[in-house]
């Protein structure tokens, strides 16, 4: 679904002469806001329903450089949903339909007053046009198999070999790939070990 059209702002360009990596995240954040508008969660809708969306997880892949003034077209595909969450896949393209970047995200519905997850208000009626019926999504992590909807064609741009290890060749397992999806719970699956600094001996007086 076409969602947002914008251009690379001059302030988004870094010392390398192209769009800074952080600004891709900004553009996808604007796309989330555009999606919220489509769902009836614009400023007035959020106030009326006492409801908003938070981003739980995101996985951003950079495919091509973008330069100052270049047109950006952002589209979204709904992969899965339940009463509280939307699992979405954004694509950023240029005027020639070249894929510039993708962002896979898990969005959580939040009761604004309680500051806690809550079933959607309004109900997810519009998303059903793009992905029929709710599907179970246990846990916080993005599911390994997006079974409710076919994966976007941009999946071919998410290299499975690169997804299995961290950039830099550390040999640390990366997100697991499923038949039609990628799991983004890398940080949740890795054992978190405290970093111990070597004790520095006191200097002689």
For position 78, which CATH number holds? 3.10.129.10
120: buried, middle or exposed (CB in 10 Å: 19+, 13-18, 0-12)?
Answer: buried
Q: Would the pTM count as exceeding 0.85?
A: no
Angle at 159 between CA 158 and CA 164, to 5 degrees: 110
Residue 101 lies in a domain: yes
Residue 169 lies in a domain: no
Residue 152 lies in a domain: no
Which tens digit of pLDDT belongs to each residue from 2-29? 899 999 999 999 999 999 999 999 999 9
Residue 192 lies in a domain: no
Residue 142 lies in a domain: no
Which tens digit of pLDDT belongs to each residue from 164-192? 333 333 333 333 333 333 344 333 333 33
Into how many domains does the chain fold? 1
Residue 148 lies in a domain: no
Residue 179 lies in a domain: no
Residue 45 lies in a domain: yes
The length of the chain is 205
Q: What are phi and psi of 45, to 5 degrees?
A: -65, -40
Outline where DSSP puts E strands in the chain.
Answer: 2-7, 51-62, 71-81, 85-93, 99-111, 116-117
The residue range of the domain holding 11 is: 2-135
């Amino acid at each position: 679904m076409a969602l947002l059209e914008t251009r690379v702002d001059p302030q988004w360009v870094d010392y390398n002469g192209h769009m800074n990596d952080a600004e891709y995240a900004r553009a996808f954040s604007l796309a989330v806001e555009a999606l919220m508008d489509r769902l009836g969660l614009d400023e007035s809708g959020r106030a009326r329903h006492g409801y908003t969306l938070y981003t739980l997880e995101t996985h951003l892949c950079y495919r091509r450089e973008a330069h100052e003034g270049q047109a950006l077209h952002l589209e979204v595909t709904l992969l899965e949903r339940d009463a509280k969450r939307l699992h979405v896949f954004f694509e950023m393209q240029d005027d020639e339909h070249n894929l510039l970047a993708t962002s896979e995200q898990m969005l959580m519905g939040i009761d604004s007053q309680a500051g806690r997850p809550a079933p959607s208000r309004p109900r997810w009626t519009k998303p059903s046009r793009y992905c029929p019926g709710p599907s179970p999504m246990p846990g916080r992590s993005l599911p390994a198999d997006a079974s409710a909807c076919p994966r976007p064609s941009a999946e071919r741009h998410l290299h499975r070999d690169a997804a299995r290890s961290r950039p830099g060749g550390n040999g640390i397992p990366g997100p697991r790939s499923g038949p039609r999806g990628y799991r983004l719970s890398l940080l949740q699956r890795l054992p978190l070990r405290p970093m111990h600094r070597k004790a520095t001996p006191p200097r002689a007086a």
